[in-house]
Amino acid sequence: MDLSLLKNIILSESKNDKQLTHKYKILKHLFSTGSSSISALCDAVGLSTPSMIKLLADLLTTGWVEKKGSGLSIGGRRPDLYTLKNERALIICIDIELFHTKIAILDNNCNFMTQVKTVSLPISKNRTDFFSILLPHLEEIQQSAAIDQSLIIGCYVGMPGLVNTEKGENYSYLIDNQESSALVQAFEKALHLPVIVQNDMAGSAIAEFRHGLAKGKKNALVLLMDWGVGLGIIMDGKLRRGATGFAGEFGHIPFIENGALCYCGKHGCLETIASGNALSKTAKEGLLLGKKSMLNELSKEELERIEPEAIINAANRGDQYAIQLLSNVGANMGKGISILIQLFNPELIVLSGQIAKAKQYITLPMQQSINTYCMTQIREKMVIASSELGENSRLLGYATDGIDRLLDAYLLKTNSIKKSKKEINLIL
């Protein structure tokens, strides 16, 4: 990952690598906490008060940091709080769904700098076709926005499937057997920027953990209910990703003996009966068999792949068939969630994604299943709530994780260089 852009954009005026590293640590702490006093920054970075004041003066002069309000005081003068200034670095965020792709540019404080652009671009396309459609839209959104292009420090790509972030590879989608390079390398070659590739579930989980209902929670689960089903695991105040980053493939637990074939190649996965794909498929099958429903008003093209939103809208209009479809999904999902509650004992479960918009049509049957299958002592203090971050929450999560990872990557690179120099000196 080429981090020269990050160094040049952010702190090229620093006199030495050590000073530069301290400044990155200050920025990372402010990014994570939102605002901080000099005392708290000294503890976080490990510097004396005079050294911290000097570095903050530099950051204030260059426009990276600003004073914003005052903190609490046990006695005496209330301390000044420092925070990151808006629009000092930008990141491109791409949310690839099964049938659509969303693009937006956010700043270092996770403010949306552009309107979210939705492109009719299915993930099933091969790499060459996918990039040929995506890149013109990326160029268009960059040119149409009144932003300084030189401030873009990288790109974050979120997508469904088995994604190994460290290797930058998706083992489920956009696989090109003609190329030996990983997916992240293909993106970096196309965009000429540092790129991070991550599973879409991580975007939902990080958004809730840093900005949403799970903020401040020690033990919470974030359930993504879209075309597929994913799980974000927050345990002991940390987001758990697993040994290879694949933790949370909740949609592919075995659920129905000899059930329908799942796209993963196994039969009877939870996704085959409790996902957007399952909901759409079941709705279409019922309508073809003559079920009476407002969904029959949909066009032939819309009936070919019924959007979950259409079913939710019909339920809100009192359509009994739509209500029953959502109830079935909620009941099955509730049975699956019971397993999670028994395993993780969470204080909160956040429902996100398209299906979560159905609210009481899925939460009521979901709760009934949980009451049936879960031990009372484990579930009685647990709360289930629908996300309040809106339909673009994953983009918010991508920006948060992306900026965090780019700062971490720079610090790791700097420390590795220092370590190498030290080892060479010892050898000499």
User: What are 324-372's pLDDT values in tens digits?
Assistant: 999 999 999 999 999 999 999 999 999 999 999 999 999 999 999 999 9
Q: Look at residue 189 and tell me whether its pLDDT is greater than 80.
A: yes
pLDDT of residue 285: 94
| Cα–Cα separations (whole angstroms), residue 128 to 170, 183, 341 | 15, 11, 43
Q: CA-CA distance, 251 to 96, in Å (whole number)?
A: 18
> DSSP state, 112?
B
Q: CA-CA distance, 80 to 36, in Å (whole number)?
A: 8
Residue 356 near residue 224 (C-beta atoms within 8 A): no
Residue 247 near residue 233 (C-beta atoms within 8 A): yes
Mean pLDDT of 65-93: 84
Q: CA-CA distance, 206 to 52, in Å (whole number)?
A: 30
Confidence of residue 408 (pLDDT cuts 50, 70, 90): confident
Confidence of residue 426 (pLDDT cuts 50, 70, 90): very low
Residue of 46 and 417 predicted with greater confidence: 46
Q: What's the fold here for domain 213-386?
A: Nucleotidyltransferase; domain 5 (3.30.420)
Q: Look at residue 10 and tell me whether its pLDDT is greater than 80.
A: no
Percent of the chain with pLDDT over 90: 64
Q: pLDDT, tens digit, for every residue of 288-317?
A: 999 999 999 999 888 888 999 999 999 999
| pTM recorded for the entire structure | 0.87
> What tokens does 182 get?
């990983």
Confidence of residue 122 (pLDDT cuts 50, 70, 90): confident
Q: According to DSSP H, which parts of 195-265 are helical? A: 200-211
Least confident of 17-21, 62-66, 151-155: 17-21
Task: Tell me the pLDDT of the chain averaged across its residues.
Answer: 88
Residue of 63 and 427 predicted with greater confidence: 63
Mean pLDDT of 103-110: 95
Q: CA-CA distance, 399 to 106, in Å (whole number)?
A: 7
* Distance from the Cα of residue 292 to its chain's centroid: 38
pLDDT of residue 428: 29
pLDDT of residue 270: 94
Every domain of the chain with CATH number 1.10.10.10 lies at 4-85
Every domain of the chain with CATH number 3.30.420.40 lies at 90-203+393-401, 213-386
Angle at which helix 183-191 crosses helix 127-144, to 10 degrees, equals 40
Mean pLDDT of 201-219: 94
Length of the chain counted residue by residue: 428
pLDDT of residue 201: 92
pLDDT of residue 15: 57
Residue of 368 and 3 predicted with greater confidence: 368
Residue 359 near residue 388 (C-beta atoms within 8 A): no
Query: Does the domain at residues 4-85 carry the CATH identifier 3.40.190.10?
Result: no
Mean pLDDT of 156-176: 90
Q: How many CB atoms lie within 10 A of CB 377?
A: 8
Q: What's the fold here for domain 90-203+393-401?
A: Nucleotidyltransferase; domain 5 (3.30.420)
